[in-house]
Structure formats: structure tokens, C-alpha cells
Amino acid sequence: MVAYDPKYPRAHYDRVGIYEWTRLTRSRHGELNFLVHMDVMRRHIKDSMNVLEIGAGAGIYTKELVQMCRRLVVADISKLQLDANQEKMGELGLLNLVAEYRQLDLVDLSPLAAESFDAIVCIGGTLSYLLDKASVGVQQMLRTVKPRGIVILGVMSLINSVVRLMHLVPPTKEIRGLTNTRWLLETGLQDQEHNPETEHYCHMMTSADIDELLDLDVVEIVERRAAGLLGMAGEESLNAVRADTDLWNLIVERELEWSKLPSALDLGDNIVYVVRRR
């Protein structure tokens, strides 16, 4: 596996810029993904909590979290994303509710005191970008959260990505060859060695990968969810459903319920785990 280098995810999110703000609102599969994450957070984030949001981006979830907890510290590896987050919270009249902004890399949370947060939220792609340092990121969160505190973490799903992007598999084979395409599909690793034409290095995971990362004595798994499960239907189908409010509400209801099924876990756009530090 290629060694993690923070310059690549930082550069990626610097390039994305403010476009990250609409990542989960400009598509219906993104909307479903968002709703499952919100369902998870409403179940576990309490108004008495001191919360760290790491990998916050432009504030898709910040705007919600800051109204759900007692104190919120917002962190990201990209200064540009932190600036965008502050801008958006200012526009929404929420900036004064954010306790602090910190530019931090998940592999090094040493600027934060040990056992200083009741909950840590690390969802989206942050953990997937750590490559060989994913276990370090997990340990850093467990160091920073209080005993009996919770960590909500998410990763990019390998199987969902392959299903949704199946149309890209033939050109991938043409460009990279069968051996490199097999590597991508078997490991979920988009790395420098096997994908030299991109600098978007990440590890799309299965639930087995996450279970291995969390096979620790100090970790209790509280909940597992598949976020964006029904997004695999495709935007055309989802937009047709979205035009009918009653039907869309029904689909959202099913998304939330089916996201809890163990058999659905690897089929979500993101795989979400809630863990408690013992």
C-alpha cells in the first residue's frame, strides 16, 4: 500500500473548494447519504456533549452539529475548507456557535488534549484518505475521546463505488490493464503505484476492512449503517421519485430502515460505524 502523504488529500480539497458545500445536496443519492448520517448523529450526539468534527470540509454537517451539541470544535486538513466553513457558518448566522477552528491532520491530533471530547465525528472520506495510516487515525481519535465517549466514523464503500461507477471499469482496464484493475477491485486501493495518472489516492473499504481496524480491546461497536444505499438506483430514477413528495418520503423511510440491515452494510455509498471507547 502506498504511504500516506497529507499533501494529496489537502491538495484535493483545496481544488474542490466551495464546491464541497453542495456535495450532498446537488444529487438525490447525496441527499439519501446525508439523511442517514443525520439519523445516526441525532441518535448519538447529545446537547451536553463537547464534540470534535474532524474532516469537516465546508460545513455540510457543521451547520447541523453546532446546533446539536454543547460545544463544537471544527477541524480539517485543508485551510481552504476551513475558510469556506467559516464563511458558510457566518452566512447562516451560526459562526458564533462554533467554539474553535483547527487545521489538523487526523494522523496527528496531539495539539488536542487527551480524553477531551465526549464525541468525535469523522465521516465522509477522511479515514479513507489515510491509506497505510488508517489505524493511526483510529488510535488518534481513541486517544482524544473520553472513556465511554463515542466516535462516529465513516469510509467510502468499495462495493457501492464499483456498482455506481461500473461504466468506468472498461476504460479503466484499457488505461491501467487487467492486473491494475484487479488490484483496484480486490483491494479498493487507488494508489500511486497502480494508478499513476491520478493523485486522488484513497482506500475504498469493505466492512471487513473496518472491522479489522476496530478489532481493539478498547473499542465497543455500537451501531453499523449503510448510508446512501438506494442511491445505487441512479439519479434518473431517484429524480422521478423525488418529484412525488409522498413517494420520496416513503423511499427515505425505507433508506433509513434498510440502512440498519447487516446484509446492506457494504452497499451504502458510505459505511458508517458508531463505536464507544471502553
Looking at residue 198, its pLDDT comes to: 80
The cell numbers describing 166, all together, are 461500473
Nearest alpha carbon to residue 268 among 238, 234, 230, 226: 226
Tell me the mean pLDDT in the region 89-98.
98
Taking the mean position of all CA atoms in its chain, how far away is CA 42?
16
Report angle CA 14, 15, 18 to the nearest 5 degrees. Answer: 75
pLDDT per position as a tens digit, 94-123: 999 999 999 999 999 999 999 999 999 999
201's grid cell: 489516492
d(CA 106, CA 117): 15
Q: Which domains can be identified in the chain, with CATH numbers?
A: 7-159+200-277 (3.40.50.150)
Q: What percent of the chain has a predicted confidence (pLDDT) above 90?
A: 92
pLDDT at position 89 over 70: yes
What is the reported pLDDT for 189?
Answer: 95
Predicted confidence (pLDDT) per residue in 159-215, tens digit: 999 999 999 999 999 998 999 999 999 999 998 888 877 888 999 999 999 999 999
The overall average pLDDT reported for the chain is: 96
Q: 3-class DSSP state for residue 222?
A: strand
Write down the pLDDT at residue 1.
60
Closest of 81, 75, 72 to residue 13, by C-alpha:
81
